[in-house]
Amino acid sequence: MTMSEEKNSGSRGKEEESEDESEILEESPCGRWQKRKEQVSQGNVPGIETASLAMDTEEGVEVVWNEVQFSDKKVFKSHEDRMREMFESLMHVDHPNIVKFHKYWLDTRESRARVIFITEYMSSGSLKQFLKKTKKNHKTMNVKAWKRWCTQILSALSYLHSCHPPIVHGNLTCDTIFIQHNGLIKIGSVWHRLFVNVFPEAIYGNVQHHRDDETNQHYFAPEYGLAEDVCSIDIFAFGICTLEMAVLEIQANGDTVVSKEAITNAAQSLEDPLIKEFTQSCVRMDAKKRPTAHDLLFHRVLFEVHSLKLLAAHCFINYQYQLHDNCLEEKTRTFDPSGVMAEIKHGDRPGVEIKYSNVSPLELDKFLEDVKNGIYPLMNFQRGLTMPRTLSIFQERMETVKTPSPEPQEMETRKVVQMHCNLEFTEEGTRSHLSLLLKMDDKLQRQLNCDVLPSKSIQRSTTLL
């Protein structure tokens, strides 16, 4: 075989392997989610033997298809109501720094019983992988990046802990924290405690294996597993994560277990006294003495008064649905580059002028995109806030469900920002046609139609534009 034939043979082999991995193995009942053969790793989640790559055919993006298999249908049935309750609560978790939970359904066809749920795919890898690459290149951690990561993680934890009832993550490690190419941090495996607390006997082997995994022992607080879950176990795990983020890796000296001595040595190696005090406050042995996620956001190593630019950006993003798409571009185009945008006057020395030419529209667009993605969250000044979730931009058509275990119906939670109503009488005069056009805050529209008969009975139809 010649060199060119070998190359062609190798390329054909790779193409065949790629085609094999992209083969569709299964579809969701509604047809929106398509499971592929390629498996992915999205953190150590007990109860999930494998997670597969899947395609969201409506959004055109890759997602993760997670499955939990039950060997005993009786065990499955006994926990079915509790599972639905827990998964429904997860459907309402919506935060820019938390991996999105898209959908779930229960499958009891034939002799098997399983739970399937779809989550966001984090293609850029875990924080652990990023730290290893950084250390390999002999680089030290940038303090600004460390602070930005801590703020994003704490923003997510504060959100979870302020839910009613509080959601305890219980599996926070650098393997379950993901970092995107733009610096956005997202924590995954939020559903971890569901598997441990709701049906541990069904997946006992997996849960036990997770708890006995020596490589992650140092993330668990001393009280972990001894009593009912409390938010302080997440703070302890967060403290270990922040320490790893600062030193890039906690040296285990060849052992599989990271000892308390190794953690102490890593903490003592920190040069910044504020960072050292910050991490040590999180890993106190007494759980009651650990600060809350909300308190940590106001620690002096992290807290800063938000700039007017950041506050304005958040305000712009929150009310963007009221503006047309190109309003920013159109507005900046009308400005005179030599015009003075702001001026600072000093009595004893010359003032400072900031012109429009000093502000790049491209940089402004990038900053707004970063704020929208959650890279620069505002500090959580108000506690106990509930954030509404748009459960599905594209409502799934339930009439296409073919399995005996259909996906649960979802309540509409999007905000209506504009409404038009039209009532028309038919030529026969026997009935009226009512049309209602709703403009939602995600820029989609919903059109509601119904025929109003003299008997006051109503036939409804809904169309999503």
Q: What is the pLDDT of residues 63-116, one digit of tens each?
A: 999 888 777 777 778 878 888 888 888 888 889 899 988 999 988 877 778 888
Predicted confidence (pLDDT) per residue in 24-55, tens digit: 889 988 889 999 988 887 655 555 666 889 99
Interacting residues of 117 by C-beta distance below 8 A, sequence separation 6+: 66, 87, 101, 102, 103, 104, 105, 191
- CA pseudo-torsion sign 409, 414, 415, 421: negative
Give me the chain's average pLDDT, please: 77
Kindly give the pairing relationship between strand 352-355 and strand 416-425: unpaired
Characterize the bridge pairing of strands 177-179 and 101-107. unpaired
Instruction: Please tell me what DSSP assigns to residue 385.
Output: -
The DSSP element (H or E) to which 276 belongs, if any, is helix 273-282
- The pLDDT of residue 385 is above 60: no
Mention every residue, 6+ apart, whose C-beta is less than 8 A from residue 92.
389, 391
**What average pLDDT does this structure show over 267-295?**
93
With H, G, I as helix, E, B as strand and everything else as coil, classify residue 66. Answer: strand
In eight-state DSSP terms, residue 272 is -
Digit-coded pLDDT (tens) for 166-185: 888 888 999 899 998 888 99
Task: Report the distance separating Cα 289 and Cα 282, nearest Å.
Answer: 9
Structural contact between residues 141 and 245, judged by C-beta atoms closer than 8 angstroms? yes
Least confident window among 47-56, 131-140, 421-430:
421-430
- For the chain, how many residues are written? 465
Distance of alpha carbon 121 from alpha carbon 101, whole angstroms: 10
Q: Sheet with 458-464: list strands edge to edge.
A: 416-425, 432-440, 445-452, 458-464
Quick: pLDDT tens for 197-256: 665 555 544 444 445 556 778 898 888 877 777 899 999 999 999 999 999 988 776 666
